[in-house]
Structure 1
Amino acid sequence: MHVYPIVAAAVWGMASGLLLPRAAHRLAVPSGEPWAAGCRAGHPLPAGPRGWVGPAHCAGCDGPGRMSAGGLAPAVLCGALCAGIAAVAGAHPELAVWLLLVPVGLALALVDLRVFRLPDVLTLPALGGTAVLLGGAALLPSHEGSWTRALLGGAALGVLYMVLFLINPAGMGFGDVKLAPTLGLALGWYGWSAVVTGTLAAFLLGAVVGLALLATGRANRKTPIPFGPFMLMGSAVALLLT
């Protein structure tokens, strides 16, 4: 693959990552509460799209620190993931789907880390959009994957997480159940080995981080840990390996 698509993917990732923090701040509220309408100091955000898209900076505050920010880290991570996936996926039509999913997944991770929530306003459109766009990619002659297998992978991962939720609702959020089919679609596109790898990687990463937090005294056995970021990281690992 030529270097230009990889560079373009990195630029796309950096640009979209720079626009994520404001949306993540607004969505990072407890379930049942309206989306945040201002910064932490109470200054209102602009109306319309400008109130949702942009960096976590409030013009009414002295500096950007009054919103849930993260600095340039989301942009750098988003750019790196997009470039990495472009490098391994190649210039095939499904790459456009992955480049759209990465910013959405990063926004979900930021929200889940802050309020232990994966909002429906992101998970449900991601599910429908991924299924439809992969179906469109499957109609193009240069695709490298199976739409039918992607649908089966989405269904399988959705059922798995639903079973885990029913067995232990305290250990698995229903937002994780809603996110699982989207990840199953992406992984199933490439094969069942990708589905297994992404799923196992998620639980392995979660276990490693959980044990590290216990060992350092930063958490105990009852401390809640959001699992959505590990699901997303595990899927990213599987895609990069695939």
Structure 2
Amino acid sequence: MVDDAEPSRGDLGGRLNQLRAGVLGANDGIVSTAGIVIGMAAATNSVPVILAAGLAGLAAGALSMASGEYVSVSTQRDTERALLEAERAQLARDPEGALQELADEYVAKGLSAPLALQVATELSAGDALGAHADAELHLDPDALTNPWQAAAASIVSFTIGGILPLLAIVLVPVDVRVPVTFVAVVLALVLTGYVSARLGHAPTSRATVRTVVGGALAMGATFALGSAFDVG
């Protein structure tokens, strides 16, 4: 007997993709906020000014990511709905042709023609749209992408990532705030780079180096810009 609570391969893959997206969102929050606060710390020693700039950048970045994710996923969801509607129309217009198309999908996956037709017939008898959507479109009609969930995940992950450099820059003494923040950010980027690579089944060392180098360059650039506008 199959445990209904056990996630399917598709569900597990979707969750891993969401987790990876969350890690990357946190990485964006770390780098973006670190760049702002380090640039401000190079320009001024005023903690309220640095904190205000960091909070403003954190809020703007999180909301920007959320809105972008919402628009992107909404477009994807509209496309999925259009594909399902086209499949539904074909089933109503030409059920026999649709059945043969489904059988051909299983033949292409290695089944014999008689067995493929039998499988297609039995699956279509239970849920024709679901069977076609799974085999031909790789979609689950009852589990389409949710733009609100994507937007919420973006806000949360970006904010969590951005809090680290913000706290590091305002909670340490003035003379060490920049190097301490730099080290804290680099360590955080090592973690996010490693985790994202593991979730994406990519080489961890290469992904981690890319992540750290990108973040270090961003912090170096903003520190140089801030130093050019030193206001004390």
Q: Same fold (TM over 0.5)?
A: no
Looking at secondary structure, tell me which structure has more helix per residue: 2
Q: Which has more radius of gyration?
A: 2
Q: Which has the higher contact order (CA 8 A, sep 6+)?
A: 2
